[in-house]
Amino acid sequence: MSKRNQTLGEFIIENQTSFKYTSGELSRLLNSIRLAAKVVNHEVNKAGLVDIIGNAGDTNIQGEDQQKLDVYANDKFIQTLTKRNIVCGIASEEEDDFIAINSQDENHQNKYVVLIDPLDGSSNIDVNVSVGTIFSIYRRVTPIGTPVKIEDFLQKGSAQVAAGYVVYGTSTMLVYTTGDGVNGFTLNPAIGSYYLSHPNMEFPEDGNIYSVNEGNYSDFPIGIKKYIKYCQQDEDERPYTSRYIGSLVSDFHRNMIKGGIYMYPKSTKNPKGKLRLLYECNPMAFIAEQAKGKASDGFTRIMDIQPTALHERVPFICGSKNMVEKAEEFMRNN
């Protein structure tokens, strides 16, 4: 049973035994993410004060301008995970290919790989709107002690052993699951510790918030268009409220607390959707399902999709179970 105000470190240790792969390695991995998030949080919170916002003058494999904080966050997470010799491989939105972490000692027994979006919603950085980090953790599938291969990263979301996000908002929170529910920890910046502030987080089964970029409406599949019109209809408990921050982590986090649905459908501009399966949709889908919500591409459960490429994109519908199922009904019938 979780105790409010327990620190994240105490919580990880207390729940380590319930984790089926108890080796302490996952705890050390979660602790290293906790540390990196604190360092990134420090920079995010002072972004307006130093010359660290604005473009880093480079673009990532997605063809998106790399904001300096994107690069900083990417470097920090990779550095922390590598230095502590905890994982055998890392994939990042900001890296074209995966990074194989080779052993500092010959019997390199690390068995976890991490996939990460180091700073999601980065276009919001220089307008002072919340951004986030998303991470997904798997056990490798190739033999321990050998260099990781692409198949260690192209696993279905259902094989994740842990997933979480950090939201750098009015307060900084780390929310994660290891398959035994979802718990949220709030950072006390004064002492640099995270405290259990949101034990056993769950999506309300229903909600009245829908999050989608309606600027793309004319481009959406007909089923999505009809669902949006359904949300706007003056009937029953509708019209719903439209809330779209432009930061997946922030919209997801609000919807999980209040009830709601987030959608990033495909469109002519984004024929496969915009969000990346491996380090955005899968971790958020794991958290959503562990919080009694749902996540699909409109037809298929996100965590059942077999990945074929590191940076592949999928349409994404995620949130309160009954809302996602209603949207899927419109997609099925049109």
Distances (CA, A) of 227 to 186, 283, 326: 35, 25, 8
Nearer to ligand P6P, 75 or 219 (CB): 219
Q: How far is the CB of 321 from ligand P6P (least distance, A)?
A: 21
Q: How far is the CB of 261 from ligand P6P (least distance, A)?
A: 13
Q: How far is the CB of 318 from ligand P6P (least distance, A)?
A: 11
Integer Cα distance of 137 and 16 in angstroms: 15
Angle between helices 25-45 and 68-83 (to 10 degrees): 150
Residues, the chain: 334
Read out DSSP for 208-235? SEEE--GGGGGGS-HHHHHHHHHHHSSS
Nearer to ligand P6P, 38 or 253 (CB): 253
Q: How far is the CB of 57 from ligand P6P (least distance, A)?
A: 19
Nearer to ligand P6P, 111 or 313 (CB): 313
Q: How far is the CB of 123 from ligand P6P (least distance, A)?
A: 6
Nearer to ligand P6P, 10 or 65 (CB): 65
Integer Cα distance of 169 and 254 in angstroms: 11
Which residues have C-beta within 8 Å of that of residue 194, sequence separation ≥ 6?
7, 8, 34, 174, 185, 186, 187, 188
Nearer to ligand P6P, 73 or 248 (CB): 248
On whether the CB atoms of residues 275 and 267 are closer than 8 A, the answer is: no
Nearer to ligand P6P, 80 or 124 (CB): 124
Q: How many CB atoms lie within 10 A of CB 14?
A: 13
Q: How far is the CB of 216 from ligand P6P (least distance, A)?
A: 7
Parallel, antiparallel, or unpaired for β 209-211 and 241-242?
parallel
Which parts of this chain interact with ligand P6P (CB under 6 A)? 120-121, 123, 213, 246-248, 274-275
